[in-house]
Structure 1
Amino acid sequence: MDPNRNQRSNNGSGTNGNGNNPPVTKTVKTATTKTTALKPAPVQAARATNTSTATASSTATNSTATNSNATNSTATNSTATNSTATNSTATNSTSATNTRTVTHRPAQTTATNNAQTSGRQNVTRTAAGAEGSARTQPRATAASTNTNATASTSGPRATASTAGAKKTAAAKTEDDPSLAYARRIAELAVQRAVLVTKTVLRSIPKKAPAGPNAPLSQKQNAGTTDGTSAAKKDNSPVTIADFAVQALLISGMRKAFPNYGFLGEETAGKLREDERMREKVWKLVQKTKLSDPACEALLGKPGGPQEMMDIIDIGASKTNAEPNKKYIIMDPVDGTSAFMEHGQYAVVLGMVENGHEIMGVVAGPNVKFDDVVLGGAKIREFDTDEDGLGTMISAVRGYGATARPVGPGELLPAVPLNRASQPPPKLDKTKPGLAKFYGLKYVDSENSPKSRWDKVQDFAGGPDKYKKALQLYSSHVRYMAMALGDRTYTQIRWPDERKKPFKPWSIWDHVGTPLIYTESGPSKVTDLHGKPLTYNEGRDMLSYYGIITADATIHKAIVDAVKVELAAEQKLVAAKKLTAAKK
């Protein structure tokens, strides 16, 4: 790891462009390679043998396969057979990149030890997986069904560019097989957590939204079931999904990584005093499992209500991150207020070493994979995936980002994310002041009580232009929108100190997804002063003020403009204090 790099993706501080290594197009055996970093338990490592990876393009017209008989086709129903090699790779290539053509479903390849076949298939992924059953829906993905599969598409989000794209985590297995294994376990743990949230969501009647920032009482009156939610000390809501997800995430990851530290948003205090809520959470934890028994066996699980509460409290640690120790940080349900209204929310895991992100996994259970990832649509607060399980994106530092639909069992095929092929944003430097930034697309939350949307409005060019900003309540869904959007997307989170003193950001609100964003294309994440984020101060990010998330080509210009605005704000505050003192 290179904690000091500034021009590569590093916890939101680095730049991601076309690297020297293409996405994975070859097979590796992971369990037999010696490693010391991120080393999992041997019994789980044995699971990762003989996996094949495949890449495909949704616009390919001549499909070929290595060491096999191939049939030319139009990217559907192409067949490749290899009966002698147990680990081979089929690839479909295309020169078309960065287009919006999604007129058909790409072929899906199923890899086994003795053969590879490709053809149009239905991918099963529904919330019913929490109870072991599923409804089948067609999905537009193309890759091997093994965990490390990736696929290229011609959509604007998942590009077909392979020559300069970064390696995926699967490619990393030659150097460090445990990185790919850690990513797989984290993705499975997050996927299982999504099943919990969808189960709870079905118990909450869908009513007219009161708004993500509405009081908890309003949300309860809008249809939440008795015993499903409660108010925390800061009056923010917490649901049985928050508790159950944190219990399952920690127990799931601890089985593979028992020596890691854990930090999570929730504590079990409410469950210890509320028997009814405790029973609801325990039933959720008991019932929820992946539909694939082999995948479920890779994840740990609490053995009873008491152990469940103890596991939740493992994440309540207040100690600072120790040097040379790895931490897994989670936000079990980010955007609980929006979740309670069937809006966008996220389940997040971030892995940190020496204060720097090394892996991130986030699921948006209500983000439509086909529409957003393959079709190029924007994530909208209440345009949600009601029938499916949403979208998961993940990244390993230095090895790019991928997106896949969330499923009920084994991981579904993934597509690489590479915004480097898109044109960079352009600023009109002839315009004075903030006018040069009027052409950017802004991601914000005017409902957030923690930040000043009026400052973002100034950068956008006034109230009318600010109306075009993408409004999303969950901080991690905002990062997802930027990773899946184009390079003009920009986020400025300006702390609101007008009514009460600034409260530092919580670590779980800004970990995992900043790495995914910077790995998906040339971009940076810093505070308002341009300071790159690190994660070695415990639960609160005490040394950081606000957030700027922007393309690497314009990030410094935004930071410089923000510094001017901050200085003007400080002068105004000082003048008001002086006037008040004279009175």
Structure 2
Amino acid sequence: MSDYRKEQEVAIEAVRRASLITQKVLQTSISSLTKSDKSPVTVGDFSAQAIINAILAKHFSDDKIVGEEDADDLRSKDADKVALKEKVIGLVNEGLMAEGADQLEKPLSETEILEAIDKGNCQGGVKGRMWTLDPIDGTKGFLRGGQYAVCLALIVDGEVRLGVMGCPNLPIDKSAKKPQEGNLDEVKQRDDLGVIFVASEGKGAFQRPLHATSSTQLTPIKTREITPEILSKASFCESVEAGHSSQGTNAKIAEFLGISSPSVRMDSQAKYASVARGDGDIYLRLPVGDGSYQEKIWDHAAGCLIVTEAGGKVSDAKGRPLDFSIGRTLKNNKGVVAAHASVHAKVIEAVRKALEEEGRGHL
């Protein structure tokens, strides 16, 4: 098994710098625009992608990157987009020139920053090394002061080998109360928020404070032990957005499992992080509508490995492993289920029953 120690150190620093810049954006003002698919993209998304891609290119120049964003909108002559681009340039250079590892000696030019964003254009595949990046997973959560995550994973020959995730609005202490969903003022005032989660294949899962300066401050994390006998006491983690997962189906699954605890709803791969460290138990993201939507690899790669290395199991709705080897999407999978390994099979059986009852067993 390869040792990805250098990759882990670089990825932690890249995610740390990008996450700190997104925190600064939250503390000031968020400029955004709407993409062609009607989803929002913010100054934070562009800045985080540029920072991470620039650091990856410095250390691993031959590696490909599968990123969510591109810089096309920032090349527009539209006045609002030009203004947003100027903010991105300032934030990227602030993030990269801050004191610490990978500190730049001089600012990047506009061209260099746009090119860094566009490094995320790899189409994926089964051979070789590639990174997959979601600079802000849960942009709607980010916009309203909810949960979001900066997610980076290394995929080698189609398998996720390393995952690093920054969750700036999660409490460092898992027992601490999460900020009220969408309460931006609370997020701005609290100083106990900000966590980086790390997992390397076969090495376990860890967390550290976002503002820590040393990667040695890694604390092991584990999924909460939920035996089949006490499964009824488990809790679900679900998306805030109803369009992201079938909440009605989730309620049927909870009924089949005898679970009565209210679901915890939050945006982004922060749900994976919550399951991994035991302040949530089951993450469900089941198909909606006709099930034609294909999950993107950057939405799951880091979280999948972190949960797995923490003692959990992640699969699609039929219990099959997630396949990150076939491009930018998980087109061979439908839905995502993450749970403690000891109860995962029971959850999958409940998922099967619920989908069949709805006449969607073919999904």
Q: TM-score of the superposition, structure 2-length normalised?
A: 0.89
Structure with larger Rg: 1
Corresponding residue to 2:52 among 221, 232, 249? 249
Displacement of 1:282 in angstroms is 0.6
Corresponding residue to 1:511 among 260, 280, 301? 301
Corresponding residue to 2:84 among 264, 267, 277? 277
Displacement of 1:180 in angstroms is 1.5
CA contact (8 A) 2:205 2:220 kept: yes
Aligned pairs for 1:526-545 (under 5 A) are 526-545=315-334
Match of 1:404 in 2: 208
Displacement of 1:517 in angstroms is 1.0
For residues 54 and 360 of structure 2, what CA distance do their matches in structure 1 show?
50
Match of 1:184 in 2: 9
Aligned pairs for 1:144-543 (under 5 A) are 176=3, 179-204=4-29, 224=30, 228-273=31-76, 274-289=81-96, 291-293=98-100, 295-297=101-103, 303-317=108-122, 319-323=123-127, 325-369=128-172, 371-372=173-174, 376-377=175-176, 379-380=178-179, 381=181, 382=183, 384=187, 386-387=190-191, 390-407=194-211, 409-411=213-215, 413-419=217-223, 423-427=225-229, 438-461=232-255, 468-474=262-268, 476-485=269-278, 489-497=281-289, 502-521=292-311, 523-543=312-332
Aligned CA-pair RMSD: 2.6
- State the one-letter code of the partner of 1:277: L
Displacement of 1:291 in angstroms is 4.5
For residues 282 and 119 of structure 2, what CA distance do their matches in structure 1 show?
35
Structure-2 change in CA distance of 1:465 and 1:459 (3 Å): same
CA contact (8 A) 1:196 1:288 kept: yes
- State the one-letter code of the partner of 1:268: A
Match of 1:578 in 2: none
Q: Secondary structure at the match of 1:461?
A: helix
Displacement of 1:316 in angstroms is 2.5
Displacement of 1:236 in angstroms is 1.4
For residues 289 and 311 of structure 1, what CA distance do their matches in structure 2 show?
12
Displacement of 1:549 in angstroms is 0.6
Structure-2 change in CA distance of 1:377 and 1:290 (3 Å): farther
Displacement of 1:563 in angstroms is 2.2
CA contact (8 A) 2:314 2:337 kept: yes
- State the one-letter code of the partner of 1:316: N
Displacement of 1:276 in angstroms is 1.7
For residues 348 and 526 of structure 1, what CA distance do their matches in structure 2 show?
19
Structure-2 change in CA distance of 1:391 and 1:414 (3 Å): same
- State the one-letter code of the partner of 1:443: C
For residues 245 and 256 of structure 1, what CA distance do their matches in structure 2 show?
17
1:31-62, CA deviations, whole angstroms, 9 ceiling, x for partnerless residues? xxxxxx5xxxxxxxxxxxxxxxxxxxxxxxxx
Q: TM-score of the superposition, structure 1-length normalised?
A: 0.56
Displacement of 1:194 in angstroms is 1.3
CA contact (8 A) 2:234 2:259 kept: no
Task: Give 5+ residue unaligned stretches, structure 2.
Answer: none
1:49-86, CA deviations, whole angstroms, 9 ceiling, x for partnerless residues? xxxxxxxxxxxxxxxxxxxxxxxxxxxxxxxxxxxxxx
Displacement of 1:467 in angstroms is 6.6
For residues 292 and 347 of structure 2, what CA distance do their matches in structure 1 show?
22
Displacement of 1:416 in angstroms is 1.5
For residues 82 and 62 of structure 2, what CA distance do their matches in structure 1 show?
31
For residues 300 and 509 of structure 1, what CA distance do their matches in structure 2 show?
33
Higher helix share: 2
Displacement of 1:466 in angstroms is 6.1
1:476-524, CA deviations, whole angstroms, 9 ceiling, x for partnerless residues? 11001111215x71122211116xx521001111011111111112x21
- State the one-letter code of the partner of 1:305: E
